[in-house]
Amino acid sequence: MIRLFAASYPYDYPEPETICVAVRKGFRVMEAPVVMRERSTGRSSIRPFHAGYYLLKVTLAILVANIKKV
């Protein structure tokens, strides 16, 4: 999998796209449980506009990837 993404992995490569590409290339993808804790300091960088932009971008990227059969 490292070879697959080492050649081209954009800095903002969203996880949903990564999962789609990995599955399409025959990798087995599994979820692992994690313990989430409340943020101790700072605040999220994700704002409502950015969340909408991200959703649109990921959706379009997955649709295009499915058309291209990456």
- Please report, in tens digits, the pLDDT of each residue of the chain (70 residues total): 888 888 777 666 678 888 888 888 899 999 999 999 888 888 877 788 888 888 888 888 888 877 876 5
DSSP run (H or E) holding 55: helix 48-68
Domain boundaries, the chain: 23-30+47-70
